[in-house]
Structures are given as C-alpha cells and as structure tokens.
C-alpha cells in the first residue's frame, strides 16, 4: 500500500441531480436507464430542445434568503448530503479547518436579469437587487457552503468552464498533500438559467432533441443542473477517525489545449496528455483502466476530438477501452459536470457497473474504443477514469480506484451513501 | 512534496500606472480619473487604466473581441515573461529550459470578465433571450483571460482560474506554487486582476462603499494612521492586472525579486495563532497588508499589529506611508486582487532585504469569521 499520508481518499459524496438528492437516487435512476431530459419549453418558454432540472430543492426556511443563488443552494444541499455522516460535534476543532473548493460557471447569474445592463443603479435599488447581485462572484458558492457548515479552511472558487469541478477535486488533493487543511470539500454546482440556455443557443450548440453523445448523428448538447461534493482527506486521516473509505483518488492531472478559445484541439492533444499524466501519477498502465466516464457532450467537435484523445492515450491497450457519456442521462451540468461524473465513476467502481451511453445507436468508428451502449455491463472495476474538458481548452482527468484491503475497505451496505 | 523555494523572477502589469514590465518607476502617482465610459449623474472618479492599444505593447496581439480583462492579462503576462528573460517565440523555446506543456497559468479574479457579461445581458435586454449576440458569451467566462494567456503563449500546462473573497491573488499564488512543488509544472504565470465596469461601480455605490473622494476633487488621505485610529472603510475603486512569473529557485540564473517561502489561506479560525505557527522562528521585518475587501482594511491592520512586534514596519492597504512608497491607494481599489499590485509597489521602493509577510483579509467580523491569507516572502538585499 502507498504511504497513507500521501494517499487521497474519498470519504463522503453528496449529490443533487435531476434524479433527486443523494447517491441512492442517482444510482437507482441511472441503473434503471431513466433519462431525466424533458422539453425545455416547459420551464423556459421560447427555448427548444431538452433540459434536465432539479424539481425539488428543500432547504430550511432560514436558508431561503435572496442572498443565496440557486447555484449556492444546490451546492449547500449537496455539501450537507456529503457530510451527513460526520460526527461534527466529536471532531469540531478538526473539522472547523476543513477547506472548500467549489466550481461554478453560473454562480449568481441565475439571479440577475437583463434589466441590470440598462440601469444597474436602478436595478440594485429595486427590491433585493443589491443582495441578488452580491451572489454574482463564483466565490460566493464556496462561501455559501463553508459558512453553512462552519468550515474555515482554505476556500475558493475554481473556474475552468466545464472542467471546473474536476479541477476543484484535483486542486483539493494538492492542498491536502500540502497540509493546507485536514480535509477538503471539493465539487461543483450550477443552476439552469436563461443566461446559459441563451448563450449555448446563440452558439447553436444545443441539440433540439435529447442529446446523443458519440453518435454519428449527434447534433449538440442538452443542459442540466445539479451539484456534487466529494469529501477528500488523506488515508491516514480517514483511518484515524475510522471513516468509511468510498474510493481512492489514485491520479489526477490538468492540461490545456492552447488551441482555440472554444473549440477543442482536433486531435485531442491536450486531453490525451492529461489522461497520460493522470495514469502516470496513478502508476497505472492504459490496460489498467477498466472504464472511462467521458466528457461526451454530444457536440460535433467535442466528440470527435475526444475520440482521437482516447485513441492516443489508449493506443497501447490490448483491448478497446470501455467509454460512456453519462450526460445522455441528465444533460451537461457545466461547472458541476466534473464532480457529478466523478461521483458516477466512483459509483461504477464500487458497483462494478459500466453504464451505457443512452441513445447511442450509430457510434463514431474507432478501433480503440468500446462504446458502451444497451444494457449496464457488470464486471470488477479496479480503476476508472473521469475526464472533463471545457471552453478555453481546459482538461482534467481523475482516476479513482477501490480501497485496498483492511478496515477501511468498502462497507457497501453500511455507508449510507447509496453505494451498495 | 519536496519543500522548494519558489522565486518570483518576472513582473508585468497593466494598471493605472500604465502597462509596465518589472517594477514601478519611482514617483509614479496616478491621479483619480473622471468616469466617462458610462453616464453618471454627477462627478464620479476612480483609478482607471488609461486606454491603450495592446498591440502597441505586444506586437501582433489581437484583442478586439476580448474582455479588457483578457487583453490586460495577455499584455501583463507578456511583459512578465519579457521581464523574466524568457522568450517563448516560435518554434518551441529553449527546450532544455522550458517545455510549454509544463508551464501553468493561474489567474485570480473577483469578478471575472464582467464587461462582456454585462454586454451579454445588454444583448438580452435589447433582443430578448432568444436573440442574444453569441460573441460575448464564451469570452465572458471567468476563465477566458487564463485561457487566452495559454493560447497566445502556447502553454499546455494546468490552466486554472480561482476566486476567493478578498484574497483571490494570494490564493492564486499559493496554488501556483503548489503546482510547482508537486512537479505538476516547471514554471507558472500567476496573475490577479479585475476590471471596473458600470455595474460593479454602481454596486459599490449602492452598498455605500465609495470614498467621498469619488464624488469630488478632494484628495485621498495619505498619512499613516496611528494605532487605534479608525481606518476608512470606504475606498476608491481601481482596476488592472498584475502577472508574476514563478519558478523553482535556482533552476536557472535569473534575478529574483522575492522568494515565496510558505503561505496560509483560510476563511476563518484563529489568524494570529495560524500565522505565528506558519512563521515558526521567522521574524518578518515588514508586513505588507494586501487588499482585502474595503470594509476589511481595519481588520487587516489590526491583525498585522497583533502579529508584529514593535520593530516591524506595517504597510497598510489603503494609506501608504511616503517613506516606503509614494502615497497611493491604487492597489486598495482592487478588493479581491490588489495584493500583487501592492506587493510590486512595495518591491519598487527597494525595501531592505529580509522577510516580509504579505497579509490580506476578507470579512470584517470577529477573528473567527475573518478570512485571511498570509504569504511569507524572502526579499533579496537591495
């Protein structure tokens, strides 16, 4: 076993997804093959296509203040879900130094309407405009989570477009190794709102139908919303408090394409480098990776570039690498996507369940990729990778593995995380 | 992690002092400017970056469709690399020294590309959400400046944008140094900055945070407050981007402005205890109070005084003693990202060598919910 002081483990997962709150809802929904995508016009009149939204977002009355944006509230619920098994009272002093790294691309934009652009001063004076605008900076999401839980460690927002929350997890792991905090909450949160729907619509990036990642007939992406938060700590610290280890973060890497402000590098150069670096950190060969949870947005450019990246990174494998895009279930949750997909990847490792891409009937041809489709495949999964990419050429790769033997091995039915 | 010292070997900036490579020339003192970029009911002033053509500073740079924050990041990063003596010209530069795949960009910002975000809202106000102009949307993302820096210089290492209330610059520097120490990059360009837009300025105004000097031609105070004096919580907003080049000390023969030794950055707790623990046996001779939110200036100075002994010079964020640098509150006008500008202003005054603590705070409450960042720097003897 590696040095437990330098081994980063996941000891909590909190999720708010269109399936509901918690990993159990996410797991049962996805394993049943249910798609949460529904016509956008039901919620956002005038917009065609499909979206997936979180129908119910309960919070205590005191939390229902205008100073919290919808992204804040999604994050707070996910964070509470992630730490619900903690003995906070028993470990108050230690946990007060917990850090929070939260990603968001929307943050408080959901609370602001176009009238602000024409006369900001009047908009601020109108009702709670001043407070609503105060939730605009992405750092507000991290502050909302940290303040809600009373965590006072390092705290910041991470912005790397759609790779943001995967990077938040990677950077949180760095900070743990630096000894900057005894434990880190890392994840992402993004709300659906007209701002992002309008933006992607203006770029003609939205599929008018439910998206079909990696299909030759794909037409674009669908937007979703949600939040996911992982609790990360060193194995040493987890063992000291007798915590259940849900997964080991075996490797992580971040790169940039340095190619174009919105388009990925056509050969997937940056993403391939990123996967290679993560495998090097994990001490894993390309044959060791049993499953890749893809970025797989369904846009024409992304999916081809990503396929090329897999062909480069996994060229030496003896068998094609199993890949699926779970954005086909509830859309692209932008800044939350990387963390949600990290949670799904951990679920896959724990359950030995390889989720298929929905609606994938005519996949991009590649001799190096085994596109998962049809039924859920069951097999032992020692290592799995989650990859993310975003506007601006950002890439991130995370490799999760099973805990090794011992007291902190998986306790499937006891974790309460719905990960049995 | 290998404990390595990280050197600051290059500085570039775009600020009310103008676009500059390296330190700020002595006796530079920008004056507040009247705001003309948007309609104001009467005189409104701020420290503004004078309009300039980025291509006149960095030949070939095309910035027409970019947010000013991205344009300034491109200029500041180019000037910082130039100042560090690093030529990233085509083809691959000095491969034995710099592999572009191992150069990171870390950008700290409070508001991101607010200008184009406002332009996108304006487009929605005029055309409706179904008819928005596509160009401001991706360029308005907070990570656009960092990604443009990577694109222009061809940098394929980690590319990260961070925001942290009051201490975004400090957070960016700590995380950039962490990338170097973990071997995830060989060199990092770390930037911090914000632009001043109409919505941001009017938000400050509506929140009652603007200094009276924003409304008339009166001068800002320049004297150093005595212990116990109240420090003004209002401020005059500013704008700009500062870029620093970070690399492991001793990796090549390069001048170092300062070495980053260690840092702490937290959202609360016991700051004095935490900082003293970080300092160990170190005794900084200078405490530079970086930005912090305007309403936190008082608590930053209070914290500095609590940490420091009687022989330690404290440079407050808003009111700079003339004997250290020309009196100027420009850096304090950047609530989340002024620390780098404050640092280079102090370095420009050629302080005596020794250790310096760069201190920033956020929030104004009790020590328990007062966030702070503390960076221990080693200054070379001038």
Q: pLDDT tens-digit profile of B135-153?
A: 999 999 999 999 999 999 9
Contacts of B181 in chain A (CB under 8 A): 178
The conformational region for residue A49 under phi > 0 = left, psi -120 to 50 = alpha, else beta, is left
Looking at per-residue confidence, does A336 or B268 come out higher?
Answer: A336
Encode pLDDT of B173-194 as tens digits.
999 999 999 999 999 999 999 9
Contacts of B105 in chain A (CB under 8 A): 256
Nearest CA in chain B to A117: B122
Question: If DSSP codes are grouped into helix, strand and coil, which group holds residue A35?
Answer: coil
Catalytic status, residue A260: no
The interface predicted TM-score (ipTM) is 0.95
CB contact under 8 A, A143 and B267: yes
Question: If DSSP codes are grouped into helix, strand and coil, which group holds residue A11?
Answer: strand
Tokens representing A269 are 């150069």
Nearest CA in chain B to A281: B184
CA distance A191 to A9: 28
Nearest CA in chain B to A177: B1
User: DSSP character for B24?
Assistant: P
Please identify among residues 127-166 of chain B the ones whose CB lies closer than 8 Å to any CB of chain A: 128-130, 132-134, 137-139, 141-144, 146-148, 150-151, 153-165
* The pLDDT value given to residue B365: 47
User: Going by C-beta distance under 8 Å and a sequence separation of 6 or more, which residues neighbour residue B366?
Assistant: none
- The alpha carbon of residue A207 is apart from the nearest alpha carbon of chain B, in Å, by 15
Question: Do you find a cis peptide bond into B91, omega within 30 degrees of 0?
Answer: yes
Cβ atoms B191, B241 nearer than 8 A: yes
Residue B335's pLDDT band (boundaries 50, 70, 90)?
A: confident
CB contact under 8 A, B161 and A160: yes
Total residues found in chain A within this entry: 420
Q: Which residue has the tokens 């996910």?
A: A78
Please state whether beta strands A223-224 and A50-52 pair in parallel, antiparallel, or not at all (unpaired).
parallel
Percent of chain B exceeding pLDDT 70 equals 84
CA distance A375 to B40: 63
- pLDDT of B219 above 60: yes
CA distance A36 to A30: 10
pLDDT, tens digit only, all 420 positions of chain A:
579 999 999 999 999 999 999 999 999 999 999 999 999 988 888 888 899 999 988 765 455 565 899 999 999 999 999 998 775 544 555 567 899 999 999 999 999 999 999 999 999 999 889 999 999 998 999 999 998 998 989 999 999 999 999 999 999 999 999 999 999 999 999 999 999 999 999 999 999 999 999 999 999 999 999 999 999 999 999 999 889 999 999 999 999 999 998 999 999 999 999 999 999 999 999 999 999 999 999 999 999 999 999 999 999 999 999 999 999 999 999 999 999 999 999 999 999 999 999 999 999 999 999 999 999 999 999 999 999 999 999 999 999 999 874 444 333 333 344 443
Count CB pairs under 8 A between chains A and B.
Answer: 227
Cβ atoms A91, A231 nearer than 8 A: no
Residue B367's pLDDT band (boundaries 50, 70, 90)?
A: very low
Nearest CA in chain B to A252: B184
Residue B223's pLDDT band (boundaries 50, 70, 90)?
A: very low
Contacts of A167 in chain B (CB under 8 A): 158, 160
- No. of helices (H) and no. of strands (E), chain A: 13, 17
* The pLDDT value given to residue B185: 97
Instruction: Name which of B156, B161, B198 is nearest A120 (Cβ-Cβ).
Output: B198
Answer whether B190 touches A (CB < 8 Å). Answer: no
Looking at per-residue confidence, does A399 or B218 come out higher?
Answer: A399
Cβ atoms B189, B134 nearer than 8 A: no
Answer whether B70 touches A (CB < 8 Å). Answer: no
Residue B369's pLDDT band (boundaries 50, 70, 90)?
A: low
Catalytic status, residue A295: yes
The conformational region for residue A33 under phi > 0 = left, psi -120 to 50 = alpha, else beta, is left
Encode pLDDT of B190-203 as tens digits.
999 999 999 999 99
Tokens representing A359 are 């609606």
Contacts of A254 in chain B (CB under 8 A): 157-160, 184
Residue B311's pLDDT band (boundaries 50, 70, 90)?
A: low
Look at A339-353, A380-394, B272-286, B309-323 and tell me which has the smallest mean pLDDT.
B309-323
CA distance B253 to B263: 25
CB contact under 8 A, A153 and B267: yes
- The backbone torsions φ and ψ at residue B28, rounded to the nearest 5 degrees and listed phi first, read -80, 125
Answer whether B209 touches A (CB < 8 Å). Answer: no
Catalytic status, residue A162: yes
* The pLDDT value given to residue B321: 42
- The alpha carbon of residue B158 is apart from the nearest alpha carbon of chain A, in Å, by 4
* The pLDDT value given to residue B256: 96
Nearest CA in chain A to B270: A152
Cβ atoms B132, B139 nearer than 8 A: no
* The pLDDT value given to residue A8: 98
* The pLDDT value given to residue B325: 44
Residue B244's pLDDT band (boundaries 50, 70, 90)?
A: very high
Encode pLDDT of B46-96 as tens digits.
999 999 999 999 999 999 999 999 999 999 999 999 999 998 875 555 555
Question: Which member of A53, A295, A308, A333 is catalytic?
Answer: A295
Question: Which member of A36, A53, A140, A162 is catalytic?
Answer: A162
Please identify among residues 263-322 of chain B the ones whose CB lies closer than 8 Å to any CB of chain A: 264-269
């Amino acid at each position: 076993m590696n040095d437990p002081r330098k081994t980063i483990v996941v000891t909590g997962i909190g999720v708010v997804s269109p399936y509901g709150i918690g990993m159990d809802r996410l797991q049962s929904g996805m394993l049943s093959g249910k798609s949460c995508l529904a016509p956008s016009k039901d919620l956002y009149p005038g917009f065609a296509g499909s979206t997936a939204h979180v129908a119910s977002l309960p919070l205590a009355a005191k939390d229902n203040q205008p100073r919290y944006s919808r992204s804040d509230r999604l994050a707070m619920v996910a964070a509470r879900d992630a730490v619900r098994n903690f003995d906070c009272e028993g470990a108050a002093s230690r946990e007060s130094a917990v850090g929070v790294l939260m990603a968001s691309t929307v943050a408080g934009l959901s609370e602001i309407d176009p009238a602000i652009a024409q006369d900001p001063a009047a908009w601020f004076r109108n009702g709670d405009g001043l407070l609503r605008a105060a939730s605009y900076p992405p750092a507000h999401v991290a502050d909302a989570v940290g303040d809600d839980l009373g965590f006072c460690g390092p705290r910041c927002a991470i912005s790397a477009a759609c790779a943001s929350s995967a990077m938040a997890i990677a950077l949180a792991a760095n900070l743990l190794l630096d000894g900057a905090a005894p434990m880190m909450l890392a994840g992402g949160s993004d709300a659906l709102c007209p701002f992002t729907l309008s933006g992607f619509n203006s770029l003609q990036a939205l599929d008018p139908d439910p998206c079909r990642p990696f299909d030759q007939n794909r037409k674009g992406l669908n937007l979703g919303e949600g939040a996911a938060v992982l609790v990360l700590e060193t194995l040493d610290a987890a063992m000291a408090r007798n915590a259940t280890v849900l997964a080991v973060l075996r490797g992580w890497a971040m790169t940039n394409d340095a190619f174009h402000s919105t388009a990925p590098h056509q050969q997937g150069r940056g993403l391939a480098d990123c996967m290679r670096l993560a495998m090097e950190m994990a001490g894993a060969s390309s044959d060791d990776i049993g499953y890749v949870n893809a970025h797989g947005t369904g846009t024409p450019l992304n999916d081809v570039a990503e396929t090329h990246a897999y062909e480069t990174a996994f060229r030496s494998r003896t068998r094609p690498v199993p890949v699926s895009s779970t954005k086909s279930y509830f859309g692209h949750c932008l800044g939350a996507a990387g963390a949600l997909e990290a949670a799904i990847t951990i679920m896959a490792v724990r359950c030995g369940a390889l989720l298929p891409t929905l609606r994938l009937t005519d996949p991009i041809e590649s001799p190096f990729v085994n596109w998962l489709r049809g039924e859920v495949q069951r097999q032992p999964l020692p290592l799995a990778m989650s990859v993310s990419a975003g506007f601006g050429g950002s890439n991130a790769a995370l490799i999760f593995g099973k805990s090794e033997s011992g007291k902190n091995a998986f306790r499937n039915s006891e974790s309460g995380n719905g990960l049995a | 992690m290998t404990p390595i010292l990280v050197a600051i070997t290059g500085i570039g900036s775009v600020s009310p002092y103008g676009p500059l490579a390296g330190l700020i020339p002595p006796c530079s003192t920008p004056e507040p400017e009247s705001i003309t970029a948007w309609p104001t009911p009467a005189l409104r002033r701020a420290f503004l970056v004078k309009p300039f053509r980025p291509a006149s500073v960095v030949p070939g740079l095309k910035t027409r469709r970019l947010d000013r924050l991205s344009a300034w990041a491109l200029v500041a990063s180019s000037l910082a690399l130039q100042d560090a003596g690093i030529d990233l010209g085509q083809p691959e530069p000095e491969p034995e020294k710099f592999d572009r795949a191992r150069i990171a960009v870390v950008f700290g910002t409070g508001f991101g590309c607010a200008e184009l975000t406002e332009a996108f809202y304006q487009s929605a106000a005029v055309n409706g959400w179904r008819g928005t102009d596509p160009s401001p949307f991706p360029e308005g993302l907070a990570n656009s400046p960092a990604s443009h820096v990577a694109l222009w210089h061809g940098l394929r290492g980690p590319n990260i944008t961070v925001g942290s209330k009051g201490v975004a610059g400090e957070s960016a520097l700590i995380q950039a140094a962490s990338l170097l120490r973990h071997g995830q990059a060989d060199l990092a360009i770390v930037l911090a900055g914000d632009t001043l837009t109409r919505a941001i300025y009017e938000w400050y105004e509506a929140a009652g945070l603007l200094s009276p000097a924003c409304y008339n031609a009166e001068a800002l105070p320049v004297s150093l407050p005595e212990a116990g004096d109240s420090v003004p919580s209002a401020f005059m907003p500013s704008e700009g981007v500062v870029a620093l080049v970070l690399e492991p000390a001793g990796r090549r023969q390069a001048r170092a402005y300062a070495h980053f030794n260690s840092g702490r950055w937290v959202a609360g707790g016991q700051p004095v205890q935490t900082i003293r623990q970080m300092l160990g046996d170190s005794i900084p001779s200078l405490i530079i109070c970086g930005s912090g939110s305007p309403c936190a200036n008082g608590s930053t100075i209070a914290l500095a005084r609590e940490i420091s002994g009687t022989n330690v010079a404290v440079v407050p964020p808003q009111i700079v003693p003339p004997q250290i640098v020309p009196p100027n509150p420009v850096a304090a006008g950047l609530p989340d990202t002024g620390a780098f500008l404050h640092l280079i202003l102090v370095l420009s005054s050629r302080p005596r060598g020794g250790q310096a603590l760069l201190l920033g705070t956020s929030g104004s409450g009790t020590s328990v919910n007062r966030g702070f960042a503390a960076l221990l720097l080693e200054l070379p003897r001038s």
